[in-house]
Amino acid sequence: MVTRRKRKSTSLKGLGVKFGATVRKRYGAVYRILKKHRKCPSCGSKRFSRIALGIWHCPKCHFKVASGAYDISTQAM
Ligand SMILES: [Zn+2]
């Protein structure tokens, strides 16, 4: 029996073949960080997400904070 490696599932949309593997890889890394489930620093709700570039919002307690474009922490990678 042939064992096949399971491919990593990605929820990537928008970038096709034409941009090349390097760009898609970079985009995927950033996109995964962006869509990661976060906890609201104010109430602990998991619905904390970005609503605009650099603006993070919690719909439960209406906590809004300005931070990084793709991540809540703005440490240099
Ligand atoms: Zn909250």
What three-state secondary structure class fits 76?
coil
Q: Is the residue at 11 inside a domain? A: no
Position 7 scores a pLDDT of 62
Q: Is the residue at 75 inside a domain? A: yes
Give the position of tokens 């300005």: 66
In angstroms, what is the span from residue 1 Cα to ligand 1's centroid?
Answer: 50
Position 21 scores a pLDDT of 85
Q: What average pLDDT does this structure show over 17-33?
A: 85
- Tally of domains in the chain: 1
- Quickly list DSSP for 30-70: HHHHHTS-B--TTT--TTBEEEETTEEE-TTT--EEE--SS
What three-state secondary structure class fits 31?
helix
Q: Is the residue at 18 inside a domain? A: no
CB 7 within 8 A of CB 29: no
The parent domain of residue 73 ranges over 38-77
pLDDT band at 10 (very low <50, low <70, confident <90, very high): low
Q: Is the residue at 2 inside a domain? A: no
In angstroms, what is the span from residue 57 Cα to ligand 1's centroid?
Answer: 8
In angstroms, what is the span from residue 11 Cα to ligand 1's centroid?
Answer: 26
CATH classification of the domain holding 58 = 2.20.25.30
Q: Is the residue at 1 inside a domain? A: no
Position 23 scores a pLDDT of 86
Position 24 scores a pLDDT of 85
pLDDT, tens digit, for every residue of 29-74?
888 889 889 999 889 899 999 999 999 999 999 999 998 888 887 7
